[in-house]
Chain A
Amino acid sequence: MKKDIILAGVGGQGILSIATVIGEAALQEGLYLKQAEVHGMSQRGGDVQSNLRLSSEPIMSDLIPKGGADLIISLEPMEALRYVEYLAPDGWIVTSCVPFLNIPNYPEIEAVLERIKAYEHHVLLDVEALAKEAGAPAQAANMVLLGAAIPMLGIEHDKMIAGVSRVFARKGEAVVETNVKAVEAGFNHSGIKN
């Protein structure tokens, strides 16, 4: 088993929480893991990404090679497209469709979404709306996105849910429940079955 995942977004959106949950579930599965993160200047509203590598064999490089990513998980549609050079030909893009507008020259959102739809393997979701629908706050949008990516992760749905529960356990039962709901909402809308 080997999954190379690029997590993308804008500084402050919370991509690292997605990485934390996947990492937790992967380690429980006894998988090897490497996760390269971005700290420092770009966290101030710039583009950020994290390379998350999971494998049943030891992992060498901390960085995913171009053409090697099985999956791009992005909290922002244009940010998903920033990393397509890293995507394997049969790789998946799972992304929020809601643009994060903090630059003056953001392209036409319709054109951005058209480009994403040009990839055969894509899941495009309004994760914020789905979070609200599920009764979760907007901050849980990242968990909705995670849920939508579960079918491509190579880790079973129930084991991911257990991972969510463990990661949020110290914040109390209610927080766990909210986040599990958010993950389930994403999972049910991913349109792909395990």
Chain B
Amino acid sequence: MSDFSFFLLHMSFFLSTFAGEIETIYIMKKLLLGDEAIAQGAIDAGLSGVYAYPGTPSTEVTEYIQSKVISNQQSAISIQCRWAANEKTAMEAALGMSYMGKRALVCMKHVGMNVCADAFMNAAITGVNGGLIVLAADDPSMHSSQNEQDSRFYAKFAMIPCLEPSNQQEAYDMMAYGFELSEQLRTPILMRVTTRMAHSRAVVNITEKPRPQNERSMPKDVNHFILLPAFAKRNYAELVAAQPSFVAHSETDGHNVYVKGSHPEKAIVTTGIAYNYLMENYQAEMGCSILKITQYPIPAAPVAQMVADGAKEILVMEEGQPVVEELLRGMVPSEIKIEGRLTGVLPRMGELSPDAVRTAIGLEALPTYAKEAIVVGRPPALCQGCGHRDMYTALNEVAREYENARIFGDIGCYTLGALSPFHAIHACVEMGASVTMAKGAADAGQHPAIAVIGDSTFTHSGMTGLLDCVNAKANVVVLISDNLTTGMTGGQDSAGTGRLEQICIGLGVEPEHVRVVVPLPKNMEEIKGVLREEIDYNGTSVVIARRECIQTLKRHLKAAKNN
């Protein structure tokens, strides 16, 4: 965690007139990551619970709230902020908190939206009682992810409003707004950010007077939350009927800004942080009409105005997939040319950059130096002293004894076992897939079929797959590389720590085939022996290789020394 104490610059206050009265509003300045601005905004908007599973670039939202709750124990800020087992349990618990009339926030990386999609889509049908914001942090360019899906599709899919702040201040301000809007419209709100918003710092003005949390209150009509077809049809009809009001809020609440240019035949639409890249390069004499979108559904009125003002060509700049670019095609006359990622004016893939935007508006690149040919890649690697290393060393040696062993990997630090020097895994798709892909491969006749999964990923999405294995007596070895933490995202609590054997036995794995080893070089022969025995056993086995993450160990030792 960062240290925030020295970021407290100074406090100032100013006067504002509100309903005819003079009110003093205290403002404090803090240097915050986008994620932290979102967290602070939620706290100041009367948040009662944050529910999340760690995932880059969303992790710091929950960590920040956790740090505030701990540091404020005396002043008794009470916000539930324990990590959830996965994004689906997080979304459901948040809906329960909202059901009770309180404000809840769910945080995840973009692929977490897939995990919680069932709960998310249906929360749009139930609607909410207390305000509910779902924060999805997308990772275009896949800095730390397996795809670059765009979460705005989920908002469109669920037919709910979406907020996409363009800077840290807007991110902070939009939390209070988002909760108000959620309660007013009785709908969950999706907030979508991307890596550069989540992980960039700027000074944010925050209120000194946080809003109190909501009192508990039951839903006025409990049938809204009972999705029997008869009730769900009524709810869905209400959601459909509410769509024009969602658009109206996009048009009138001030988050979408349209400015007519002096040469309005050229228009630019930006979403989220793309606006910053445009403004970095924009020259006033270009005279384009500019529509800055930070709230969805797409505001229809300014788009129509842009056309009425004479737009002949619209350039769309957006982080992620060409969501707005596609939708605009159905909103403007077909003779208007729409340019963007689909037409190649901007790159089809990856995050935007000031450079890509500069080229797109027809400016020459700035003079600079050519790339240095001497520079070679430096891919990330497992830490020296990491238990996953010893686990892979043993596993590789045993796997080589078989003609064609297949090792199905999973999501976490140990995915790096795919790279040099181990080249140990033959698949890695999504959370939990190691267990069930190994099962499917075993069903198809593969032997040995081995899954490698971390402890946190196992409790996130591996347990149900293991139950499938047990029920089918699948001939697989599930190797849980247990480092007692959620390592890749920086060492958050892992949901099954201390109970993995019980969980596996409880799911029906025979106790004599739940084996525990300590991945250290001195134990190499023992580990290999255990792996051979369990590979040769015709049924479902679990081998737990357990040793604390070297990073959290260092932290724990340092903390112990300081105490």
Contact = CB atoms under 8 A, between A and B. Distances in A.
Contact of A81 (B273, B277, B372): B372
B6 A103 contact: no
Interface stretch (A61-69, A138-146, A182-190): A61-69
A40 B375 contact: no
B60 A65 contact: no
B57 A66 contact: no
B380 A33 contact: no
Contacts of A23: 31, 201
Contacts of A32: 202-203
Nearest to A31: B203
A44 B199 contact: no
B380 A89 contact: no
B276 A61 contact: yes
B366 A107 contact: no
Majority secondary structure, A binding face = mixed
**Most chain A Cβ neighbours within 10 Å, of B200, B281, B358, B365:** B200
Given A84-B369, A115-B374, A63 B143 contact: no
B355 A46 contact: no
A45 B196 contact: no
B23 interface: no
A39 interface: yes
Contacts of B376: 78, 103, 105-107
A98 interface: no
A86 interface: yes
B381 A68 contact: no
A159 to B, nearest CB: 15
B552 interface: no
B378 to A, nearest CB: 4
B80 interface: no
Contacts of B196: 36, 62-63
A70 B527 CA distance: 53
A51 B351 CA distance: 16
Contact of B380 (A44, A82, A87, A88): A44
Nearest to A169: B6
Contacts of B354: 61, 63-65, 68
A103 to B, nearest CB: 5
- Which of B57, B354, B420 is most buried by chain A, counting CB atoms within 10 A of its CB? B354
Contacts of A60: 276-277, 279-280
B558 interface: no
B200 A34 contact: yes
B378 A87 contact: no
B207 interface: no
Given A33-B31, A88-B366, A102 B144 contact: no
A145 B367 CA distance: 27
B416 interface: yes
Given A44-B382, A65-B366, A84 B413 contact: no
Nearest to A23: B31
Interface residues of B, number: 54
A178 to B, nearest CB: 17
Contacts of A86: 368
A189 B370 CA distance: 29
Nearest to A24: B6
B379 A38 contact: no
Contact of A34 (B57, B201, B374): B201
Contacts of A82: 372, 375
B5 interface: yes
B199 A37 contact: yes
Contacts of A56: none
A175 B279 CA distance: 42
Interface string A19-56: 00001100110001111111111111111000100000
B89 interface: no
B9 interface: yes
A68 B381 CA distance: 31
Contacts of B416: 44
B381 A61 contact: no
A87 B369 contact: yes
B371 A85 contact: yes
A81 B375 CA distance: 7
Contacts of B9: 27-28
Contacts of A84: 368-372
Nearest to B278: A60
A136 B379 CA distance: 31
B62 to A, nearest CB: 14
B374 A111 contact: yes
Interface in A111-146: 111-112, 115, 119
A104 interface: yes
A78 B375 contact: yes
A29 to B, nearest CB: 11
B308 to A, nearest CB: 29
22 contacts: A27-B7, A27-B9, A33-B31, A34-B200, A35-B200, A43-B380, A45-B378, A45-B380, A47-B377, A47-B378, A60-B276, A62-B196, A62-B197, A62-B202, A62-B276, A65-B355, A65-B366, A67-B366, A67-B368, A78-B376, A102-B378, A170-B5
Interface of A: 10-11, 23-24, 27-28, 32-47, 51, 59-68, 78-79, 81-82, 84-89, 102-107, 111-112, 115, 119, 166-167, 169-170
Closest 6 CB pairs of A and B: A67-B366, A40-B144, A67-B368, A40-B56, A46-B380, A61-B280
Given A44-B488, A103-B377, 9 more contacts: A35-B200, A38-B143, A44-B382, A61-B279, A62-B196, A63-B277, A79-B378, A82-B372, A89-B369
